[in-house]
């Protein structure tokens, strides 16, 4: 089996999810390539050493440039905060590395475009970890739509609801970088809605125009780096109306102020012949209404997506036994490794992920201007 040396940047939540995927993928998928945990880089020396030890990385650094400079590294995997993505990716592209990057691509459209330009110029392979595409139930939804089960689409509806920042005592900055506009670029729009938008574009095509509103409920928070109360620059909540190119109407919403919801990503699509719905709190199920069912026996079916003929599931256990969140990353790397010798890249590439960046940008413009905006 061909080995591919991974150079990971970051040691946070996503760095763990990616590392687990690298370690597990070959036990569950028959692949020609095997990722090797070659090196990891992140700011704090003690923490990166501990992380490397835990996950079995052969080397560790406090500067990601070491990874890029290392000729043995095949793949640079960016799992650090958003403000670092663009520079790392551009540098890695120039060094001819394959690049995997956590979502969102960057803090803003300009940074993202620089990344796309660089990888295009360098001709390197890329993928963005929009992991929800590879939840088996979501992949099944994609297959159903492609096979015409839903017919013409009338409505798309997505939400991503959390409640972890309601307390004004949650700080911003440092480990709380998701609340720091300088590190994150935006709040729930880039963090949560980006997921919803990526899936929506994948399932339902491009978005034409949006009308958005955002809100920052807590105006000041302590900053972990300065130690002072500072203005909060991110959006705590973001909602928008949208029209897709295919004529369907949509509502999107994300917030970290929805009490009782931890990470409730929900989506629903209503088509001429049927509807589907899914949510992350019960990620192993797909809800499906088939209008072609016998009249008096129609109803929403709850499909327990755990059978051998469901997407990805032949690689796991037996019917009825659910897999979890992190498996979506294993599926992503499996698809990526499979794509290396194929014609089609594993999606979304940086270029494909730009579509989501454009919607995010239009949403933030619309909310700021208080008017409908076209997606660029």
Q: In angstroms, rounded to a whole number, what is the distance separating the alpha carbons of residues 143 and 147?
A: 6
Q: Which residue number, 71 or 295, has a Cβ lying nearer to its own copies?
A: 295
Q: Site mask, its own copies, residues 39-78, x = CB under 8 A?
A: ---------------xx-----------------------
- Which residues in the 239-268 window bind its own copies by CB under 8 A? 239-241, 243, 249, 251, 253, 255, 257-264
Structure tokens at 177: 């970088």
Counting contacts by CB under 8 A, is residue 208 touching its own copies?
no
Nearest distance in Å: CB 191, its own copies: 12
Does residue 104 have a cis bond before it (omega within 30 degrees)? yes
Binding its own copies (rule: CB under 8 A), the pick from 71, 123, 169, 309 is 309
Of 18, 19, 75, 221, which lies in the binding site for its own copies, with binding defined by CB under 8 A?
19
Are 99 and 126 spatial neighbours (Cβ–Cβ below 8 Å)? Answer: yes
The residue from 123, 324, 342, 344 that contacts its own copies (CB under 8 A) is 324
Chosen residue from 5, 23, 31, 87 binding its own copies by CB under 8 A: 23
Of 122, 282, 339, 345, the one binding its own copies by CB under 8 A: 282
CA separation for the pair 175, 12 (Å, rounded):
9
Beta bridge partners of 77: 8, 100
Q: Which of residues 326-345 bind its own copies (CB under 8 A)?
A: 326-327
Size of the site for its own copies (CB under 8 A): 90
Give me the least distance between CB of 274 and its own copies, in Å please.
Answer: 6
> Measured from the CB atom, is 270 or 349 closer to its own copies?
270
DSSP per residue over 294-309, as a string? -GGG--EEEEE--STT
Rounded to the nearest whole angstrom, what is the least distance from the CB of residue 234 to its own copies in the complex? 15
Whole-number Cα distances in Å, 184 to 173, 190, 252, 271, 290: 9, 8, 20, 35, 41
Q: Which stretch binds its own copies (CB under 8 A): 81-89, 223-231, 284-292, 333-341?
A: 284-292
The 8-class DSSP code of residue 29 comes to S
Contacts of 291 (CB under 8 A, 6+ apart): 272, 273, 274, 298
Is residue 289 at the binding interface for its own copies, with CB under 8 A as the rule? yes
Separation of alpha carbons 145 and 143, rounded Å: 5
What are the Cα distances from residue 331, in Å, to 20, 25, 80? 11, 8, 21
The closest of 148, 174, 203 to 83, measured between CA atoms, is 174
| Contact with its own copies (CB under 8 A) among 211, 216, 338, 339 | 211
């Amino acid at each position: 089996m061909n080995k591919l040396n991974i150079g990971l940047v970051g040691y946070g939540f996503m760095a763990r999810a990616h590392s687990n995927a690298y370690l597990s993928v070959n036990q569950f998928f028959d692949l020609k390539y095997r990722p090797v945990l070659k090196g990891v880089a992140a700011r704090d020396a003690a923490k990166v050493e501990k992380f490397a030890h835990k996950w079995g990385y052969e080397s560790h650094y406090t500067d990601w440039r070491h990874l890029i400079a290392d000729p043995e590294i095949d793949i640079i995997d960016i799992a650090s905060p958003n403000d670092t993505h663009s520079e790392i990716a551009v540098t890695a592209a120039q060094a001819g590395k394959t690049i995997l990057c956590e979502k969102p691509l960057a803090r803003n459209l300009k940074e993202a475009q620089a990344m796309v330009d660089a990888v295009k110029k360098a001709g390197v392979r890329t993928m963005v970890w929009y992991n929800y595409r590879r939840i088996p139930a979501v992949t099944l939804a994609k297959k159903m739509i492609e096979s015409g089960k839903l017919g013409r689409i009338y409505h798309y509806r997505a939400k991503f609801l959390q409640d972890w920042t309601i307390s004004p005592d949650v700080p911003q900055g440092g480990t709380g970088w998701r609340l720091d506009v300088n590190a994150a670029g935006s709040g729930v729009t880039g963090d949560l809605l980006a997921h919803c938008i990526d899936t929506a574009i994948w399932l339902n095509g491009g978005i034409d125009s949006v009308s958005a509103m955002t809100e920052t409920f807590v105006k000041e928070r302590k900053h972990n780096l300065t130690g002072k109360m500072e203005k909060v620059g991110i959006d705590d909540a973001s909602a928008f109306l949208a029209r897709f190119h295919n004529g369907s109407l949509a509502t999107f919403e994300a917030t970290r102020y929805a009490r009782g919801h931890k990470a409730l990503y929900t989506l629903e699509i209503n088509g001429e012949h049927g509807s589907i719905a899914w949510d992350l709190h019960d990620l192993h199920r797909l809800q499906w209404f088939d209008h072609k069912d016998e009249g008096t026996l129609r109803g929403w079916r709850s499909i327990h997506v755990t059978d051998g003929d469901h997407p990805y599931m032949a690689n796991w256990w037996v019917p009825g036994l659910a897999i979890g969140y992190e498996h979506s990353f294993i599926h992503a790397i499996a698809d990526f490794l499979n794509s290396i010798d194929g014609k089609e890249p594993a999606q979304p590439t940086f270029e494909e992920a730009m579509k989501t960046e454009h919607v995010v940008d239009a949403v933030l413009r619309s909310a700021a201007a208080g008017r409908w905006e076209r997606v660029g």
